[in-house]
Amino acid sequence: QTVVTQEPSFSVSPGGTVTLTCGLSSGSVSTSYYPSWYQQTPGQAPRTLIYNTNTRSSGVPDRFSGTILGNKAALTITGAQADDECDYYCVLYMGSGTWVFGGGTKVTVL
């Protein structure tokens, strides 16, 4: 079974830039996997940041951006702020109407 991989954790300085990635245990991620990214603060519902690789969801600031970097999908946060400190999840479309989430990345801003 294919596993969607994410870094377990990442640290970024306030005002800095961080790039999170979303890969596959076997194979490369392309736009055909329609990668999406979600942000979740503990105890809260997820919030959609990016879908279809690089489309920003309504109300999401442009310091969040998505792309394909090499063989992975990537989410870049520029000008990190204190309230960016939370969990980030990617999801990939596996075909036949099914989706698989990555394990999530905990981002710390310090």
Partner 1 sequence: EVQLVESGGGLVQPGGSLRLSCTASGFTFSSHWMHWVRQAPGKGLVWVSRVNGDGSDTTYADSVKGRFTISRDNAKNTLYLQMNSLRAEDTAVYYCARAVYDKGVHVVDYWGQGTLVTVSS
Least distance in Å: CB of 15 to partner 1? 28
Closer to partner 1 by Cβ: residue 8 or 79:
8
CA atoms in the 13 A half-sphere facing the CB of 80: 21
Closer to partner 1 by Cβ: residue 56 or 79:
56
Binding site for partner 1 (CB under 8 A): 34, 36, 38, 40, 45-48, 51-52, 55, 57-58, 87, 89, 91, 93, 96-104
Is residue 77 within 8 Å of 18, Cβ to Cβ? yes
Least distance in Å: CB of 66 to partner 1? 12
Q: Is 20 helix (H, G, I), strand (E, B) or coil?
A: strand
- The CA distance from 77 to 58, in Å, is 17
Least distance in Å: CB of 12 to partner 1? 20
- The CA distance from 106 to 9, in Å, is 5
Least distance in Å: CB of 13 to partner 1? 26
Closer to partner 1 by Cβ: residue 45 or 110:
45
Is residue 35 within 8 Å of 29, Cβ to Cβ? yes
Closer to partner 1 by Cβ: residue 2 or 13:
2
| Among 12, 17, 13, 24, residue whose Cα is nearest residue 94 | 24
